[in-house]
Amino acid sequence: MASTAVHRSPWPRSGKGPILAEGATTDSSEDRPDEPTAGPADGFGPSSSVVADDASYSAADITVLEGLEAVRKRPGMYIGSTGPSGLHHLVYEVVDNSVDEAMAGHCTRIDVSLLPDGGCQVVDNGRGIPVDPHPKYDDLTAAEVVLTVLHAGGKFGGDGYKVSGGLHGVGVSVVNALSDRVEVEIDRAGTRYYMDFIQGGTAKTPLEPRGNAPEGRTGTTVRFWPDPSIFEEITFRAQTLLERFQMMAFLNRSLEIRFRDRRMSDDGDWTSYRYDGGIIDFVSHINQSKEALFETVGYFESSEQDQEVEVAFQWNTGFNSDGVHSFANGITTIEGGMHEEGFRKALTNVINRYAFDRGHLKADKDERLQGEDIREGLTAIISVRLADPQFEGQTKGKLGNVSIRSLVERATNEKLAEWLEEHPNEAKALIAKAVAASRARLAARQARDQARRKSALDGAGMPDKLKDCSSRNPDECELFIVEGDSAGGSAVQARDPRTMAILPIRGKILNVERARIDRMLKNTEIQTLVSAIGAGLGDEFEVDKIRYDKVILLCDADVDGSHIRTLLLTFFFRQMKELVEHGHVYIAQPPLYSTLVGKEKVYLKDDQVKEAFLAENPDHSNDFQRLKGLGEMDFDELAETTMDRDKRTLLQVSVETAAIADEVFSILMGEDVESRKHFIQTNAKDVRFLDI
């Protein structure tokens, strides 16, 4: 789970927000000790405006952006945002090219380094980008075309790659467009070639030989420095990159991805990921902080023509029924798609058929299990590879190829049935768990029906403690979930009553990571949340019915506030996942400090901002006032610092990789104390991300 600072301008209701210097370097291999050796197989128009005179609007007014200029003009169209997620996307684009080489069988190791001067370097031991003249561009080599022409590369037809991970096909040319400087070295056929670019893709040195490549080495090296005039910040976060690289290593069996951060120490220790078990190891990793229902991790694979699938799965004793994570050509399909649909359908049919055949269920009692019953406690990874993936959906995170659904469904029907026959003890345990989940589901349905009948009889609508807004247009409405009645009272006075609703909650809500839905529905605070948001719960949640475009968590900036915030985020991710995926969940940022500069009061968000302020204003070292908790803040102070749309800062919560978020919530809110302790120690240096 990640967050992005959002200043002033709100995001559109249906949009998914973004999830986060120039320097010198050498051209030689001395900058890359322990280098990988050879692999085994050697135009926009003008912005919208009112035209005063139609006659004056002619062809001369149509702007055509040439080459990479279009990327610099509209970077969000190519990398999603100019915030932290867009910044890190540059690294992924370069690494994805190397992963494509691995998927083609020509690369075994990728080394990624964050450089002391703020740049990033990616080295692979693939075949090296071709350096011969391009048949279409007579004056350019193939390597120069790849770096300067959009939608150019070996993945668009031809025999370069059968499958590739590039989602939009814009690749390294976009990295070039959005960088201050880019340097490329290519080792191919015994020669090292070099070229570099400056100021958003302007060629500085055309491709030229620079002597011999190290003996036996082939591959590509890319170094780039993000353009500070494009991005909100140009500081990479190591943990964000590590999480992505680990996932890539899981999805590409036996590929080694190494990472080092040389910003603090020039040597930098390598962190290495390599998994010979592939997605089997991925499932074990996600479940390591959970109690496994049985030790075995199931696995099967199948292929036909230009597509293939592999699936790994294991049940745990938890109650989450949303542990199916799918990927296509290494790309996270967070919205699912045809491959996931085929697996879910076949899973339900196979488990029910086996249970009836073995007498675990009785047909005469209509005991058929529902999909959500069977998936309770299931962690599964579905990884498909196909020649022409069709991505769709709001975030381009949904796979639309119908043919892959048929392959996955057939493979699951056949291979999972075989696995159940070969593992009768495991089959019995998972069916018993599914039966218990079914009973809990029926009990929860009865509780919901009773609550609905009661509401209809007594005329109850929204919760008593909810101070609703007057607007009935969800696109402009916000719900502040506030810690405590006292803070709730201040927030009510500080709000804009037309568009801001206030819902105070008392204490810490139920930890849903350790509870089934029937128990959740008995919890008063959860009942209140479900009723206020108005879009249901769990499998019945419908994001189009939410009553507020923004659900904003407003908690104290202390340990208890962080815990309450984490409990709420766990609830939203587990039971209202689409609310998070569609970018409707935010975290308010009340400041920790205030100080006077002349007669003006200045508010400082946290210790990091305070230190930066002191560096510029050393005279204020003794003037600081640490602000009180939300409940003790004056309403006008709360309005000015935290709720006023023109002055506040919000963090928008987003999920780029559900499997990683699944693991994080299991660690933070599960039973494994050692895993939680290790996670906190590892992430304590970056409290902005630890808090969420």
Active site residue ranges: 483, 556, 558, 560
Q: How many CA atoms lie within 13 A of 691 on its CB side?
A: 22
CB neighbour list of residue 312: distance below 8 Å, 6 or more residues apart? 278, 279, 280, 282, 283, 297, 298, 299, 380, 381
Nearest alpha-carbon partner for 11 in 651, 657, 676: 651
Rounded Cα distance between 453 and 92, Å, is 52
- 501 and 469 Cβ atoms separated by less than 8 Å: yes
* Whole-angstrom distance, CA of residue 12 vs CA of residue 22: 35
**Amino acid identity at 83:** G
CB 551 within 8 A of CB 653: no
* The two three-digit tokens of residue 135, written as one number: 């048949």
Return d(Cα 509, Cα 379) in angstroms, integer. 25
Q: Which amino acid does the sequence have at 563?
A: H
Q: Specify the DSSP element, H or E, that contains 176.
A: helix 171-177
Contacts of 520 (CB under 8 A, 6+ apart): 444, 510, 512, 526, 537, 575
Task: Please name the helix (run of DSSP H) or strand (run of DSSP E) that holds residue 312, with its range, or none.
Answer: strand 307-315
Q: And the tokens for 488?
A: 């709730």
Beta-carbon contacts of 19 under 8 Å, excluding residues fewer than 6 positions away, are 2, 3, 4, 80, 84, 85, 654, 655, 656
**CB proximity list for 80: less than 8 A, separation 6 or greater:** 18, 19, 86, 89
**Cβ contact 482:488 at 8 Å:** yes
Which one, of 577, 679, 3, 14, lies nearest residue 325 by Cα? 577
Is 213:222 a contact under the CB 8 Å cutoff? no
Residue 679 phi, psi (nearest 5): -60, -45
Contact 518, 440 (CB under 8 A): yes
Residue written as token pair 């209809």: 456
Q: Which of 455, 458, 584 shows the shortest CA–CA distance to 527?
A: 455
Give the burial string for 474-495 (b: 16+ CB within 10 Å, else e): bebbbbbbbbbeebbbbbbebb
Alpha-carbon distance of 633 to 628, in angstroms, equals: 6
Give the pair of three-digit tokens for residue 393. 């959906």
CB–CB of 103/165 below 8 Å? yes
- At residue 392, the 3 state secondary structure works out as strand
CA distance 666 to 664: 5
Task: List Cβ neighbours of 598 (8 Å cut-off, separation of 6 or more).
Answer: none
Distance CA 533, CA 489 (A): 20
